[in-house]
């Protein structure tokens, strides 16, 4: 005998599946389909994320780009560029953010103990791996 399921059971399940939609980032982690526009950086108080971030959580982050994008400081340590994913679109909403003179606003995520990812609107995601503190720049 076939049992008919109640819509009261099916509707919450369908809603949960629709709300669970995700995107996969270059590092294989999942995230919400879109991050809001990052806003303007404050050079006097840049957003640097927490010292102990949660894996998989996005944090607003103002990347210091005055000396380039080869290294960043996040989660209390230095990271160096591993890959720039020009074949993947950013998950950040809003118009294209150009690399600024001092800080570029976006989001940073600790995707594992050995990888962080930076994203901003209209630019390819960038993956970083542990690195050393860079030499100074002018």
Domain boundary assignment for the chain:
22-130
Q: Calculate ∠ Cα 62-115-32, nearest 5°.
A: 65
pLDDT band at 138 (very low <50, low <70, confident <90, very high): low
Distant-in-sequence, close-in-space partners of 3: CB < 8 Å, separation ≥ 6: none
Distant-in-sequence, close-in-space partners of 112: CB < 8 Å, separation ≥ 6: 27, 29, 55
* Tokens, residue 62: 């103002």
Q: How far apart are the first and last CA of the chain?
A: 79
Segment 49-66 shows an average pLDDT of: 95
| Radius of gyration of the chain from its Cα atoms, rounded to whole angstroms | 19
pLDDT band at 131 (very low <50, low <70, confident <90, very high): very high
Segment 61-72 shows an average pLDDT of: 92
DSSP secondary structure letter of residue 46:
-
Q: Is the pLDDT of residue 24 over 90?
A: no
Segment 29-55 shows an average pLDDT of: 83
- Record the pTM: 0.74
**Which of 19, 21, 25, 20 has its CA nearest to residue 91?**
25
Residue 63's Cβ-count burial label (10 Å; 0-12, 13-18, 19+) is buried
């Amino acid at each position: 005998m076939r049992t008919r399921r109640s819509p009261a059971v099916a509707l919450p399940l369908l809603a949960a599946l629709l709300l669970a939609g995700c995107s996969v980032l270059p590092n294989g982690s999942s995230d919400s389909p879109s991050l809001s526009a990052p806003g303007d950086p404050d050079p006097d108080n840049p957003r640097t994320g927490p010292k102990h971030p949660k894996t998989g959580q996005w944090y607003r982050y103002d990347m210091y780009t005055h000396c380039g994008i080869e290294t960043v400081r996040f989660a209390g340590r230095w990271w160096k560029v591993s890959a720039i994913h020009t074949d993947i679109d950013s998950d950040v909403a809003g118009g294209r953010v150009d690399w600024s003179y001092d800080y570029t606003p976006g989001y940073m995520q600790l995707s594992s103990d050995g990888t962080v990812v930076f994203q901003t609107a209209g630019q390819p995601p960038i993956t970083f791996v542990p690195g050393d503190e860079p030499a100074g720049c002018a």
